[in-house]
Amino acid sequence: MPIIECNTLVIGAGPGGYVAAIRAGQLGLDTVIVEAATPGGTCLNVGCIPSKALIHVADEFEKATHFATSSPVGITVKKPEIDLAETVKWKDGIVKRLTGGVGGLLKKNKARVIKGWATFVDGKTVEVKTDDGVETIRAENIIIATGSTPVELPFLPFGGDVISSTEPLDLDAPPKNLAVVGAGYIGLEMGIAFAKLGSKVTIVEALDRILPLYDKDLTRPVAKKMKALGVDVMLGAKAKGKSGKGLDIEDADGKAQTIPADKILVTVGRKPLTEGWGRENLVLDMDGPFVKIDDQCRTSMTGVYAIGDVTGEPMLAHRAMAQGEMAAEIIAGENRSWDKRCIPAICFTDPEVVSAGMSPDEAKAAGEEIVTQMFPFAANGRAMTMEAEEGFVRIVAREGDHVVLGIQACGGGVAELSAAFGLAIEMGARLEDIAGTIHAHPTQGEAFQEAALRTLGHALHI
């Protein structure tokens, strides 16, 4: 086959890769993007989007179950049933629409898509194994966007009843007993969803707390909800392997136990995909397990960039997207660098958890003198009308000038407040800016304003 020549080659069509290719095309760069699977990557196909679809269905099913027993709002229904196979079909339809949309956007912006597995020959040349043979691509600039994969435990290899975060999205029915290894955001999101769908869920976590990246104020409402759902949480416990009856563990007291489990969901983290694409043929500096980059996503090799999960934490789709857009603009000659003040992180548990910027402990560790207060949703009218009184909004600000350093929230639907939180921090807002902005009534967003007012010492509704 003839060699394909282009200005910009993107390897991987996940959120970072496809955004990079779209933006490169918009800027008039001759662009090729290579993807072994379907455009959209883990996030769109087997991660962010399908998991949130499943979580939505679980929430709706829980509501229906709630109304079938007793409800203070006056709604009664018969006992609901769940057809998970139909749920999966609906979820797959959403994924198909979105992946088709990505493909359409790439085509619209004249980015050529090649389906296959890319392997570096050198810093300018890549060979792609396709169904029709091997294509050779030579590019002036290459963006590595290979993403990440689930971490596999050697004593619990994936296969059969031991599953990663991918397989729960395609089950025909909720497992009677589900054991989840790892109490991070993926494990809790899936564990809570299946508990709502009727599974008996047990969470096994080696550390002494759930969601260890968040402070206890944020995770306490989540722990309370899990208890109400009947989820057993075993902290300080270590998974040991699979037996015929389920998951073998060592509990916090060092005693051996076996947890009944039809499925064992292992969610102990993700690792960057740095092998299998010819990294050994390059001279890339590494930062631990990640490809090392500078503030312009440049690697140690001229003309080779890297974005997204392969470059480090936080391994979030929206970080990858922002990096992809920036890398394309830098290749096109624009003056850009990574100067983001915060990357909001969201845990779609029940209730949801949002964190933007620094927590109180992180701010103190950075040497900041801070003021911080929270406003509870129990004092928010809109939250009351939504039966979502659990949780709060909290603001962390510098004591001297009241510049906002961080904003956190826990509550029903607070994921949608993350845009306001991120904007406030990026714009360098002070407490007075948030307190002085009229927030529509009745909304959950009022809790944001009230948190600022309370941090200033004069909350109005508490």
CATH code assigned at 383: 3.30.390.30
| Boundary residue ending a domain (268, 296, 319) | 268
Two tokens, residue 67: 């109304």
Phi-psi region of 308 (alpha: psi -120 to 50; beta: other; left: phi over 0): left
Give φ, ψ of 143 to 5 degrees.
-110, 115
55 lies in some domain:
no
| Distance between CA atoms of residues 318 and 340, nearest Å | 12
Q: Which residues contact 312 (CB under 8 A, 6 or more apart)?
A: 272, 287, 290
> What is the reported pLDDT for 244?
86
Residue 14 corresponds to which amino acid?
A: G
Q: Do 419 and 386 reside in the same domain of the chain?
A: yes
> If we measure between CA atoms, which residue out of 120, 114, 116 comes closest to residue 275?
120
Two tokens, residue 385: 């009308």
CATH (domain of 320): 3.50.50.60
| Distance between CA atoms of residues 434 and 326, nearest Å | 29
> What is the reported pLDDT for 223?
98
| Distance between CA atoms of residues 286 and 289, nearest Å | 7
* Beta-ladder partners of 381: none
What distance separates the 2 farthest-apart alpha carbons in the chain? 72
**pLDDT (average), residues 188-197:** 98
Q: What percent of the chain has pLDDT over 90?
A: 97
Q: Do 12 and 134 reside in the same domain of the chain?
A: yes
Q: Is the pLDDT of residue 239 over 90?
A: yes
Residue 370: pLDDT band (50, 70, 90) is very high
Residue 137 corresponds to which amino acid?
A: I
> Average pLDDT, whole number, for the chain?
97
72 lies in some domain:
no
> What is the reported pLDDT for 245?
85
Domain of 369 in residue numbering reads as 345-456
> What is the reported pLDDT for 312?
97
| Distance between CA atoms of residues 436 and 56, nearest Å | 35
60 lies in some domain:
no
410 lies in some domain:
yes
> If we measure between CA atoms, which residue out of 169, 167, 22 comes closest to residue 95?
169
**pLDDT (average), residues 367-390:** 97
Q: Do 365 and 239 reside in the same domain of the chain?
A: no
Two tokens, residue 86: 């139909």
210 close to 235: Cβ distance less than 8 angstroms: yes
Two tokens, residue 286: 């590494």
56 lies in some domain:
no
65 lies in some domain:
no
Q: Do 253 and 275 reside in the same domain of the chain?
A: no
Over the stretch 126-171, which tens digit does the pLDDT of each residue have?
999 999 999 999 999 999 999 999 999 999 999 999 999 999 999 9
Q: Do 10 and 144 reside in the same domain of the chain?
A: yes
> What is the reported pLDDT for 208?
95
- When divided into structural domains, the chain yields a total of 3
> What is the reported pLDDT for 395?
98
Residue 454: pLDDT band (50, 70, 90) is very high
Over the stretch 241-286, which tens digit does the pLDDT of each residue have?
999 889 999 999 999 999 999 999 999 999 999 999 999 999 999 9
226 lies in some domain:
yes
Q: Do 258 and 276 reside in the same domain of the chain?
A: no
335-357 b/e (C-beta count within 10 Å ≥ 16 → b)? ebeeeeebebbbbbbbbbbbbbb
Q: Do 24 and 94 reside in the same domain of the chain?
A: yes
Q: Do 23 and 12 reside in the same domain of the chain?
A: yes
Helix (H) or strand (E) holding 133: strand 133-144
* Beta-ladder partners of 449: none
**pLDDT (average), residues 400-427:** 98
| Distance between CA atoms of residues 88 and 76, nearest Å | 27
> What is the reported pLDDT for 364?
98
Two tokens, residue 88: 């999966």
263-279 b/e (C-beta count within 10 Å ≥ 16 → b)? bbbbbbebbbbbeebbb
Q: Is the pLDDT of residue 69 over 90?
A: no
> If we measure between CA atoms, which residue out of 366, 393, 383 comes closest to residue 443?
383
* Beta-ladder partners of 265: 163, 180
Residue 72: pLDDT band (50, 70, 90) is confident
Q: Which of 56, 66, 318, 441 is catalytic?
A: 441
**pLDDT (average), residues 223-243:** 97
Q: Do 137 and 248 reside in the same domain of the chain?
A: no
261 lies in some domain:
yes
Annotated active-site residue 439? The verdict is: no
Over the stretch 299-346, which tens digit does the pLDDT of each residue have?
999 999 999 999 999 999 999 999 999 999 999 999 999 999 999 999
Phi-psi region of 163 (alpha: psi -120 to 50; beta: other; left: phi over 0): beta
Q: Do 34 and 108 reside in the same domain of the chain?
A: yes
Q: Do 286 and 145 reside in the same domain of the chain?
A: yes
Q: Do 237 and 257 reside in the same domain of the chain?
A: yes
Residue 174 DSSP label:
-
